């Protein structure tokens, strides 16, 4: 049984023996990851009588409420991906190439490691304490600028923009954690070579730095998109299900068949998986491109 690594080339007939070692892993994956996913997949093609049908998938594209839910999710995810991406990049820039003192960089990276995990219920509570009706910043704005946030403006923490603002709390750090190493990968010699050849700082960024960083930046933004798209707990804790993003809809469907059509519920879930899969592929492809240059 104990063949060493060196004798791998032999025994084509004993092939199955080599795969024994990964069998537990595959079994686990099948039981608790693949089967559930397949269940949803199969369920989305199941009609009310248990027959095979495409009707659910079609309804996905026809039911306005569902389309709205997807669109809302996409909007929030895109908004926080772009906003999180841009500001996260600026933050990462400031502590790497931007020249702030080293201790600030450590502080930011460590904090980002923690903050990218700080989601769900505690995060929602924290933002309610900050920008809720009796929140700290709400009161501050009232005292300093005499503006009552909830009465005089359109602002509402429990809305699209409020949720987006809350999502940023883990989107910014995620962007920082990915971009900081990428920015480090910008070799100092590239800037010096560019200067030596007569380029100004702007020209260097436009012609060399940004093009080299672009795959990384885009890839990270896609990652941020996927991250926000699949989020549930934060949204639920903050808005209690009022904001009809797709994860909340699915949650409602799990609890009680609000759509009165289990197949449709599964189809909704599969729709999410498809969108996430596309993001993942986009991210992978961009990762490979950026690794080639930033090695």
Partner 1 sequence: MSIFARIRRIPFWSWLWFILGALYFLLPLYATVNFSLRMERDVIGFKAYVRAFEDPRFLETFLYSNMLAVLTIIASIILIVPTAYWIRLRLPEARRIVEFITLLPFVVPAIILVFGLIRIYSSPVTIPFTEIKLLQPLTTFEVGTDILIVAGYVVLGLPYMYRSVDTGMRTVDVRTLTEAAQSLGASWFTIIVRVILPNIRAALLSGALLTFAIVVGEVTLASFLGVPAFGPYLFLLGQHRAYEPAALSFASFLLTWIAMGLIQLFTGGQGQTTGAH
Partner 2 sequence: MSYLSISGVTKQFGETVVVDNFNLDIEKGEFVSFLGPSGCGKTTTLRMVAGFETPTSGKILLDGADITDKAPNQRNVGMIFQSYALFPNMTVAQNIGFGLRVRREPDAVVKQRVEEMISLINLEKHANKYPYQLSGGQQQRVSLARALAIHPQVLLLDEPLSALDAKIRISLRAEIRAIQKKLGITAIFVTHDQEEALSISDRIVVMNAGLMEQVGTPFEIYNFPTTVFVANFVGSLNNAPAEVIEPSRGLISIDGVQFESAVDLNQRRKGDKVRVAIRPERLSFASEQKKANVVDAIIENITFLGSVVRIQVKIGNTKFNMDTFNNPFLELPKIGSTEQVTCSREAVLVLDE
Query: How many residues at the interface with partner 2, by CB under 8 A?
Result: 21
127 binds, among partner 2, partner 1, none (CB under 5 to 8 A by kind): partner 1
Q: Which residue is it, tokens 């990049």?
A: 89
Helix (H, G, I), strand (E, B) or coil at 2: coil
Minimum CB distance to partner 1 smaller for 109 or for 212: 109
CB of residue 194 to partner 2, shortest distance in Å: 7
Binding track over 169-198 against partner 2, x by CB under 8 A: ------------------x-xx-xxxxxxx
At closest approach, how far in Å is the CB of 214 from partner 1? 20
Q: What HEC string does 181-238 produce?
A: HHHHCCCHHHHHHHHHCCCCHHHHHHHHHHHHHHHHHHHHHHHHHHHHHCCCHHHHHH
CB of 95 to partner 1, least distance (A): 7
d(CA 139, CA 249): 33
Measured at the alpha carbon of residue 77, what is the angle toward residues 74 and 81, in degrees to the nearest 5? 135
Residue 3 binds what, of partner 2, partner 1, none (CB under 5 to 8 Å, by partner type)? Answer: partner 1
Q: Could you tell me how far CA 192 lies from the centroid of its own chain?
A: 35
What end-to-end distance do the CA atoms of the chain give, in Å? Answer: 40
- Asked if 288 interacts with partner 2 (CB under 8 A), we say no
Site for partner 2 in 199-218 (CB under 8 A): 199-200, 203, 207-208, 211-212
What residues contact 61, with CB distance under 8 A and at least 6 apart? Answer: 67
Nearest approach, Cβ of 28 to partner 1 (angstroms)? 6
Which is nearer to partner 1, 26 or 61 (by Cβ)? 26
Site track for partner 2 across 235-254, x = CB under 8 A:
--------------------
**Which residue matches tokens 């990915």?**
178
**Adjacent-strand bridge partners of 52:** 46
CB nearer to partner 2: pick between 138 and 216? 216
Among residues 110 and 153, whose Cβ is nearest to partner 1? 110
Q: How far is the CB of 62 from partner 1 (least distance, A)?
A: 22
Cβ atoms < 10 Å from Cβ of 204: 19
Q: Which two tokens stand for residue 4?
A: 């060493």
Q: How far is the CB of 21 from partner 1 (least distance, A)?
A: 3
**Closest to partner 1 by CB, 74 or 276:** 276
Cβ pair 241, 36 in contact under 8 A: no
- Which residues in this chain contact partner 2 in the complex, by CB under 8 A? 187, 189-190, 192-200, 203, 207-208, 211-212, 292-295
């Amino acid at each position: 049984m104990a063949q060493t690594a060196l004798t791998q080339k032999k025994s084509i007939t004993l092939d199955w023996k080599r795969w024994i070692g990964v069998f537990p892993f595959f079994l686990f994956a099948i039981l608790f990851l693949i089967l559930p996913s397949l269940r949803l997949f199969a369920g989305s093609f199941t009609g009310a009588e248990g027959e095979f049908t495409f009707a659910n998938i079609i309804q996905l594209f026809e039911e306005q409420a569902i389309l709205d839910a997807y669109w809302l999710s996409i909007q929030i995810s895109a908004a926080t991906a772009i906003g999180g991406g841009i500001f996260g990049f600026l933050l990462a820039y400031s502590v790497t190439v931007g020249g702030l003192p080293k201790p600030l960089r450590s502080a930011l990276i460590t904090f980002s490691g923690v903050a990218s995990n700080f989601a769900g219920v505690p995060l929602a509570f924290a933002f309610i304490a900050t920008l809720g009706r009796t929140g700290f910043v709400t009161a501050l704005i009232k005292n300093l600028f005499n503006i009552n946030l909830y009465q005089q403006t359109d602002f509402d923490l429990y809305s699209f923009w409020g949720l987006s603002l809350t999502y940023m709390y883990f989107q910014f750090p995620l962007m920082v954690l990915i971009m900081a190493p990428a920015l480090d990968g910008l070799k100092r010699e590239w800037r010096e070579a560019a200067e030596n050849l007569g380029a100004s700082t702007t020209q260097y960024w436009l012609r060399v730095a940004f093009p080299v960083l672009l795959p990384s930046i885009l890839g990270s933004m896609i990652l941020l998109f996927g991250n926000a798209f699949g989020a549930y707990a934060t949204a639920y804790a903050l808005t209690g299900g009022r904001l009809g993003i797709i994860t909340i809809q699915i949650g409602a469907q799990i609890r009680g068949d609000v759509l009165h059509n289990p197949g449709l519920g599964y189809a909704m879930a599969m729709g999410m998986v498809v969108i996430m899969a596309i993001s993942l592929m986009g991210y992978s492809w961009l990762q490979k491109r950026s690794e080639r240059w930033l090695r």
